[in-house]
Structure 1
Amino acid sequence: MEEADKRELQLLSNEPEITAKDRAFRPQLDLSLSMSSALPPTANPGKEDDGSAKSVQARKQQVTEQARPAALETAYANQMRELARRELEMAKSEFTRARLIWERAREEVERVERMKMIATRRISSTCIEITCRNCRRHFRP
């Protein structure tokens, strides 16, 4: 673990000079976006001592620790997607209901306007029939 810290510090240092020796011992980076735990190739693959087994175990634990927050973020994102989908469905149903209410109100307004026209005609014809008793002339509103 200390070696990884040293490497990290070495990567973060401001020294722009990189020697060939540093390049030879620098671990290969796996830049794929998968959840793999690929280990860099070792210099002596035939020799596995207790230290390398511990480092493998430490790396596995580190990958597991990094995977937990990613899994939690994925679960949270899925919950948010589901919530957004439900809200969208509710908004669509409310919009449809509002459109139906608006259409009913428009039909009601049209019906009232027709009734108003009919009432206006009836009143007009009634006004024509009203006459003044004194002069026998038709009343004009």
Structure 2
Amino acid sequence: MLGPLFSAAMEPQRCHRELLLLPTAMPRETAFFPAPRPPAASSSSDHHHPHLDLSLSISIGSPPPEESAADHDQSNKKVVVVDVQALKLQAAEQARMASAERAYADRVMELARRELELAEREFARARAIWDRARGEVEKVDRIKAARRIAAGSAAALEITCHACMHRFHHPC
């Protein structure tokens, strides 16, 4: 048995409905039409049967006008113009993005240069502080050495004076 299938395609300019007659799922043995036979070379008249198209279509409204070659060329030109405009917009967007990236890269390089200069100044200050501290440590070391020498001489003088004190105070 054949079952109807309704499909409607709504387009902006027209309403087109199509009725397709499709067989329902039936076993091959109960089908009304026999299975197609392979073509036989027995008769040449069998080869000239046209293919039967069982799809029906119903249109509501006037059929769309046939597109002429001029209309087709005009629509192709419009498509080309739209494509060219899209390419121009894309190129302009890419140029804008490249310019923004370049400005960002320049800004980052400027910040890096400033940070490098700041680091160099900080390093120079640290080096100067280090040199001053080293100079002061050397000065303290010299003072300590001089005091050790002076303290050693004073102790020797004191010992010498105590040892010899009897000799000087008690003449023999």
TM class by smaller structure: 0.5 to 0.7
One-letter code aligned to 2:159: C
Q: Which residue of 1 aligns with 2:86?
A: 65
Of all paired residues, the percent bearing the same amino acid is 20
1:123 paired residue among 125, 138, 144 = 144
CA distance in 2, matches of 1:87, 1:75: 18
Q: Which residue of 2 aligns with 1:15?
A: none
Q: Secondary structure at the match of 2:103?
A: helix
| Match runs of 1:74-113 below 5 Å | 74-113=95-134
Q: Which residue of 1 aligns with 2:159?
A: 135
CA distance in 2, matches of 1:86, 1:135: 77
Structure 1 residue 52, shift from structure 2 partner: 2.8
Q: Which protein is richer in helix relative to its size?
A: 1
| TM-score for both structures, normalised by structure 2 | 0.47
**Greater RCO (CA < 8 Å, at least 6 residues apart):** 2
CA distance in 2, matches of 1:121, 1:74: 70
Q: Which protein is richer in strand relative to its size?
A: 2
One-letter code aligned to 2:139: I
| TM-score for both structures, normalised by structure 1 | 0.56
CA deviation vs aligned residue, 1:85-141 (integer Å, no higher than 9, x gap)? 00000000000000000011111111111111111111111111214387359xxxx
Q: Kindly tell me the number of residue pairs found equivalent between the two proteins.
A: 90
**Max Rg structure:** 2
One-letter code aligned to 1:77: A
CA distance in 2, matches of 1:59, 1:136: 117
CA deviation vs aligned residue, 1:43-85 (integer Å, no higher than 9, x gap)? xxxxx94433332222111111222222222211111110000
Q: Which residue of 2 aligns with 1:30?
A: none
Structure 1 residue runs of 4 or more that deviate by more than 4 Å after TM superposition: none
Q: Which runs of 5+ in 2 are unaligned?
A: 1-68, 162-172
CA distance in 2, matches of 1:72, 1:99: 40
